[in-house]
């Protein structure tokens, strides 16, 4: 197969393009984030916890889409940084309720404007109408495939 056809094939591969777009978004996020204090996933955890204080780690997996073992590692690192605190839930002694610390709130407050700039920079490649449609389409894909993945995992 010629190099031109291979390139064309990659340019038509959703998995490849989503991966590349994710790499670009992560690079932009890291360039915006002062001192590399947060990763995009850590920001997602902080934001989700701030909007849902007391969620269990299982609930965080469901809301962020971060796999269970990766999320557990992220939580451990954020506990060490003093951004999160967790306590056993009364309902289930095996589960932890996760909350932001004051340092976590401060970090989120300083990171939110940067994250908005990253989102704007990413979407600036498209017209406003196409950007809205793109976000709608991404959400459709995540909802459809996330549901399928959960159903597949449950039998």
Q: What CATH number does the domain containing 60 carry?
A: 1.10.10.10
pTM of the model: 0.83
Residue 22 belongs to domain spanning: 3-124
Assess if residue 131 is contained within a domain.
no
Q: Give the mean pLDDT of 130-146.
A: 94
User: What integer is the mean pLDDT of 92-98?
Assistant: 81
Q: What is the pLDDT of residues 10-58, one digit of tens each?
A: 888 999 999 999 999 999 999 988 677 899 999 999 999 999 988 988 8
Residue at 117 is within a domain: yes
Question: Is 7 part of a structural domain of the chain?
Answer: yes
**CA separation for the pair 30, 34 (Å, rounded):** 8
Residue 90 or residue 127, greater confidence: 127
Interval 54-76: pLDDT, tens: 898 889 999 999 999 999 999 99
Q: How many domains does the chain have?
A: 1
Does the structure show a pLDDT above 50 at 152? no
Does residue 153 form part of some domain?
no
- % residues pLDDT > 90 (the chain): 68
Supply the pLDDT for residue 151.
45
- Res 150 pLDDT > 60: no
């Amino acid at each position: 197969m010629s190099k031109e056809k291979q390139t064309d094939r990659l340019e038509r591969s959703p998995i490849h393009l989503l991966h590349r777009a994710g790499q670009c978004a992560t690079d932009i996020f890291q360039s915006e984030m002062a001192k590399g204090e947060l990763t995009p996933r850590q920001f997602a955890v902080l934001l989700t916890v701030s909007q849902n204080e007391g969620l269990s780690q299982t609930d965080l997996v469901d809301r962020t889409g971060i796999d269970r073992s990766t999320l557990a590692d992220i939580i451990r690192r954020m506990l060490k940084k003093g951004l999160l605190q967790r306590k056993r839930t009364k309902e289930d002694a095996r589960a932890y309720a996760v909350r932001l610390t004051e340092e976590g709130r401060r970090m989120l407050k300083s990171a939110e404007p940067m994250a908005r700039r990253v989102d704007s920079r990413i979407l600036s490649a498209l017209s406003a109408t196409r950007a809205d449609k793109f976000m709608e389409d991404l959400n459709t894909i995540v909802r459809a495939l996330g549901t399928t993945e959960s159903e597949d995992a449950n039998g």
